[in-house]
Amino acid sequence: MLSLEQLSLRVGTDEDSPQLLSRISANFRRGEFVAVIGPSGCGKSTLLKMIAGIASGEEEGAIHWDGRNLAEEDFKPSEFGYVPQFSIAHEDLSVEECIDYSARLRVAGLSATDREAMVTRLLGEVGMEEFRERMVKVLSGGQKRRLALAMELVSSPPILLCDEVTSGLDPQSEDEIVSLLHKVARDGNRLVISVTHSLKHLSSYDAIVVLYKGVLAYAGNPQDLAHYFRIDHPGEVYKQLESRDPEGWQASWRKHGASFLHGEGARELPLETPSAAKVLCPECRAECPEGIRFCKECGCRIPSRDSGNKDSDGSEDASNPGMLAQFATLVERRMKIFFRSHAQLWLQAGLVFGFPCLVALFGWNGLPQIRNLSMGLDLNVIQQLTEARDFLIQASKVGSLVSGIVMFEVILLTLMGANNSGREIAGERQIFEKEKLSGLSIVAYVASKVLFLGILSAVQSLWMGLFIHFTCAFPGDLSQQLLFLFLVNAAMTSVCLAISSYMPSAEQASLASIYLVGFQLPLSGAVIALPSWLGPLARPFIAAYWSWSGILQSLRGERYYDIVGMVIQTGLSAASLCLWVLLIHIGVGVLLTYQGCRRTKME
């Protein structure tokens, strides 16, 4: 049984803060199909989030599930399912793959055969057998809701919370979803609570909860709704709610609610399976048919004779896979999505092969050779000065070219890094939040992103460095150059991944990442020297400077190093220092990403 006792929720901590919910109390049994209705903004979704434990604000009251105080012992991930209004599936996966990956992330110990059987069974339950191999991106709204429901049922949760899953659907799809939820409640002896605006299917529910501006106006049988509100038809309930203030409805329910509670005189729910044998409930000692899971009198679990670590239906208690198993599943899924996205592949191909060509244009025929000063004694003063002038002009051009090529490489790789990760988490935030609610390890999630993006950065940086080295005959230590190219890409990728974990939308995350790249060139000091007071303040945060400086240090022993030193206005830092600073950028980015992923951002 789910028991809500005087639930209240405020946005802030002081007494003047807006109150979203005020002293909500209700009880619901397993096997019931419950609707939560009310005008927009009355607190319906907020109530669902409070039950799920993801509401933001100052909470009061208590929630008990099977006699357990959820404030002290929260839901296990396998104990409840939460179906949000938005899609919780990746667009480039098939229906079958979505359910399979959901099972792999939520239920431990399943073999490939077990998962295949589960997928087939769930597709049959939600009526999606014929769409098994269809991609999510081509599904209709109603089909996506069915898929979301199937993904939630992989762990056989005894309570299912559905947040406006019928909104925006055509009448036929709405009818089908309501009928399906009713079946899920009955067949699985499962409590299903559905938030909805629609009053079309009130007779399908066992209980109706009416909220009005954060207060409980009604929580009883659907057939008594019109009588309680003194209206001719249930469809008039929203209009009738406007006739009193919230406090008036709250007081009315407290005074008269006992006569309308849905547990009193409601039709008997089919919570039993026919059997001649009887067992005693361990709590209330009522006689119950052998084989049922929960007592019809008090709702307590009835242990089976051979339960062991299993439910009475013989299925194993669902537990989440380990962190390594989830990590492997996430990496596999991300790789599959990457290679299926043709737009992403073409973009990456354009970046990987196009950007190096842009850099190579400036040194396509190799770097110019530097002529030495003859310093001949047979030259007069005018000739010596002319030769010195020509040497300085040539050295300035060559030094600027070498420094510019390096900085061009670095800036383009920072741009690739921003493109790699700017949308990575923000673009799938709601899917991640849903999976986190279902038991996904944050460490496994962040680690999967680090591995995938690390591979992408390595490919981009390796090709950039090799292409420029051999096309332009670029001098210096190639291994050191490749290292610093990879580090600047990885540093920007890591920092932009952190930005993505904090931003509310993919568009905002992309914009912030591009702005960050835009500051790299001017604040690096490689092109125009910064003021003496600004350079030391800005430089620690500019990854482009440390990579540029580290790559130029690879030219030590070459004449180009001295020539570059003649033209740049910003001093170079030691390669070891550059290495450590870029590693710190990467580490800080990963740490901030983890912290950003810990924050709940469920809409």
Give me the active site residues, please. 164
Read off the tokens for 584: 């710190």
Read off the tokens for 191: 């409590």
Q: CA nearest 425: which of 341, 487, 494?
A: 494
**Matching residue, tokens 């460095």:** 465
326 residue type, one letter: Q
Write a three-state SS string for 450-510: HHHHHHHHHHHHHHHHHHHHHHCCCCCCHHHHHHHHHHHHHHHHHHHHHHHHHCCCHHHHH
Q: Are 561 and 549 in contact (CB under 8 A)?
A: no
Q: CA nearest 101: which of 93, 447, 602, 339?
A: 93
Q: How far apart, in whole angstroms, are the C-alpha atoms of residue 352 and residue 472?
A: 17
394 residue type, one letter: Q
Measured CA distances, 333 to 38, 92, 193 (Å): 39, 10, 31
Cα-to-chain-centroid distance, residue 13:
28
Write a three-state SS string for 356-424: HHHHHHHHCCCCCCCCCCCCCCCCCHHHHHHHHHHHHHHHHHHHHHHHHHHHHHHHHHHHHHHHHHCCC
Cα-to-chain-centroid distance, residue 230:
46
Q: How far apart, in whole angstroms, are the C-alpha atoms of residue 164 and residue 181?
A: 12
Cα-to-chain-centroid distance, residue 20:
26
Measured CA distances, 1 to 49, 269, 461, 592 (Å): 18, 14, 57, 40
Cα-to-chain-centroid distance, residue 326:
15
Strand partners, 135: 94
Q: How far apart, in whole angstroms, are the C-alpha atoms of residue 419 and residue 442?
A: 23
Proportion of the chain in helix, strand, coil states, percent, rounded to 5: 55, 10, 35
Pairing label, strands 287-289, 278-280: antiparallel
Q: Tell me which DSSP letter residue 441 carries.
A: -
**C-alpha count within 13 angstroms, C-beta hemisphere, residue 87:** 19
Query: Treating both helix axes as pointing N-terminal to C-terminal, what angle do 543-553 and 506-524 enclose, rounded to 10 degrees?
Result: 50
Q: Which residues, 6 or more positions from 228, have their beta carbon under 8 angstroms from its beta carbon? A: 218, 220, 256, 260
Q: Are 17 and 73 in contact (CB under 8 A)?
A: no
Q: CA nearest 408: which of 554, 584, 551?
A: 551
Does residue 260 sit in helix, strand or coil?
coil
118 residue type, one letter: M
